[in-house]
Amino acid sequence: MSLRKFIKAVVSGARPKTLAAGLVPVWLGGVLAWKLTGDLNGWLWSCTLLGALCIQIATNFFNDAVDGKKGADGAARTGPRRLTGTGEMSFRQVMVLGGLFLTGAVFFGTFLCMARGWPMVAIGIPSLFLAYGYTGGPFPLAYRGLGEIFVILFFGFIAVMGSVFVQTGTWPKEAILLGAQVGLLSAVLISVNNFRDREEDAKAGKKTIAVRFGPKFTAVVIWLEIKLAALLGIAWLVMGYPLYGLASLPVFVIGMRIIWGVLTLPPGKGFNKILALGALQLILFAAVFHAVVACF
């Protein structure tokens, strides 16, 4: 494989279109911390962001390798091509790439541990382990139908609250609410992805929610994730930040299109556009929240 093809394969395996799920919680955690304290440590924020992205990319590579080995992402896949499943790279090569990015996460995480101590170790160790344990190991979460719970917990609550803690040394209630919204919107991505791949996952023994309970139930799950994320905007009013709920507006608008898509389109390549809408929904939520916080 030429260097050019190798770089292209690495970029593809990192799944850049999904990285909003790693970017947004750190982005918004920094915004919220700045609003609460009037200050933002750029170095610690950068380490938090790079560490989070490294963990997510490592998870993507491990997922690619393990799913490819188990036959879950073959050439017949309707979603984006995977490196291991198509034979573009070997299982070992993809696992090494995952290990390299996990090493990067440890590197950046070290500075966070030095700044904030044992709470960052308590967050970091499970995060590093589950980068592989999401699809690999003795109890792979994705193969047990726990993918959505994993995303809500680690890409929502822990990522947002941890990002705020790095900046402030506290665990404010505002971070809990914001973490819930971000986690639910991030879970939409994995739910749509699993809906699309339901038949292929079933053949590989990957018992996602979509496989266990079928398309109708999965559509309801996606509906709940979107509606709960949007309606939680009302809680900002209760907390004394009435305008922060405006961040829910893109969720109401784009969320309706996503829900309509999963209810009317047959699972297949058409779901890739719905997945892109899910990522756009998450980014616009973050952009509006940032704008409102900065202006008011």
Q: Please, which pLDDT band fits residue 138 given cuts at 50, 70 and 90?
A: confident
* Amino acid identity for residue 40 in this structure: L
Which residue has better confidence, 80 or 279?
A: 279
What pLDDT is recorded for position 135? 87
- Average pLDDT (135-149) is 89
What's residue 236's pLDDT? 97
Output the CA torsion 223→235→127→30 (10° steps). Answer: 120
First and final CA of the chain: distance in angstroms? 53
Q: For a pLDDT cut of 90, what percent of the chain falls above it?
A: 76
CA distance 169 to 266: 47
- Does the structure show a pLDDT above 70 at 73? no
Average pLDDT over residues 201-211: 90
Stretch 2-7: mean pLDDT: 82
Q: pLDDT digit string (tens) for 152-188?
A: 999 999 999 999 999 999 999 999 999 999 999 999 9
- Statement: residue 81 has pLDDT above 80: no
Asked whether the predicted pLDDT for residue 290 surpasses 90, the reply is yes
CA distance 86 to 99: 21
Q: Smallest Cα–Cα separation from 186: which of 51, 24, 45?
A: 24
Cβ-Cβ contacts under 8 Å for 157 (sequence gap 6 or more): 176, 179, 180, 183
Q: Is the pLDDT of residue 98 over 80?
A: yes
**Per-residue pLDDT band at 34 (split at 50, 70, 90):** very high
Please report the pLDDT score of residue 165 as a whole number. Answer: 98
CA 89/CA 255 separation, integer angstroms: 36
pLDDT at 274 > cutoff 70: yes
In this prediction, residues 24-49 reach a mean pLDDT of 97
Task: Please give the pLDDT value at position 9.
Answer: 86
Residues 40 and 33 sit within 8 Å (Cβ to Cβ): yes
In this predicted structure, what is the pLDDT of residue 170? 96
Among candidates 87, 84, 89, which has minimal Cα distance to 63? 84
Instruction: Enumerate the domain spans of the chain.
Output: 19-295
| 19-295 under CATH 1.10.600, yes or no | yes
Residue 228: partners with Cβ closer than 8 Å, 6 or more residues away: 184
| Cβ atoms of residues 122 and 158 within 8 Å | no
pLDDT at 136: 86
C-beta pairs of 251-256 under 8 Å, 24+ apart in sequence: 251/185, 251/226, 251/281, 251/285, 254/280, 254/281, 254/284, 255/226, 255/227, 255/229, 255/230, 255/281
Q: b/e map of 262-294 (b: 16 or more CB within 10 Å)?
A: beeeebeeebbebbebbbebbbbbbebbbebbe
Contact (Cβ atoms closer than 8 angstroms) between residue 171 and residue 164: yes
Q: Which two tokens stand for residue 166?
A: 């790095």
Q: Which single residue is written with the structure tokens 């999401």? A: 134
Taking residue 170's Cβ as centre, other Cβ atoms within 10 Å add up to 12
pLDDT of 80 > 80? The answer is no
pLDDT of residue 72: 67
Mean of pLDDT over the chain: 92
Residue 58 burial (CB count, 10 A): 24
Whole-structure pTM value: 0.93
The answer on pLDDT for 148 being more than 60 is yes
Residue range 92-96: average pLDDT? Answer: 94
- Give the type of residue at 53: L
